[in-house]
Amino acid sequence: NLTSLILYAGLTICLTGCAAAQIGPDVIAADLAAIADFNQRYLRAINDGDSAALGALTTEDHVMLMPNRPPLVGKAVNVDAMRRAFEQFDIDETWNPVETEISGDWAWQRGTYKVIAASKSGGASHTSTGNFLRIYWRQPDGSWRMIRDMFNSDQPLPSTQ
């Protein structure tokens, strides 16, 4: 019957199209590897004190959200803040990603961090540990860039007594 044939053909086309649109495990693995590589380059730039390299890894509208401070909005503002921090401190930072999710050209990652900031003027070093949440955006050339970065300390607030 013609109606059944048309329905069958339509269903076949729909299912074939839906299957083609699914992302395979090899694509997901490649994206996860690209984000892991991105993180290594970003951490290397932090630990080398290279604010220009950090700027190259973020979008123009990059926003960093830090505890007890207003957001740093825009690449230039973020690069300048990092440059000033690198003038004052030698930084040793590590990350431990806990989960990474990818949806098309967007990805987010949650994890923990540890930062040891040693004063270049000879003062005591300061260690901070906490949690981060980052959002990445795939660029037209296929590379990933950080567009949002948020972190908070998991250490108790100092006593006010």
Q: What is the pLDDT of residues 5-34, one digit of tens each?
A: 455 555 455 444 444 445 567 778 999 999
Half-sphere exposure in the Cβ direction for 94 (13 Å, CA): 5
76-89 tens-digit pLDDT:
999 999 999 999 99
Count Cβ atoms within 10 A of the Cβ of residue 85 and give its class: 0-12 exposed, 13-18 middle, 19 or more buried.
Answer: middle
> Which tens digits make up the pLDDT trace of 42-76?
999 999 999 999 999 999 999 999 998 999 999 99
Residues 51-60 as b or e (16 or more Cβ within 10 Å = b) = bebbbebbbe
What pTM, to 2 d.p., does this model score? 0.79
Per-residue confidence band for 159, with pLDDT thresholds at 50, 70 and 90: confident
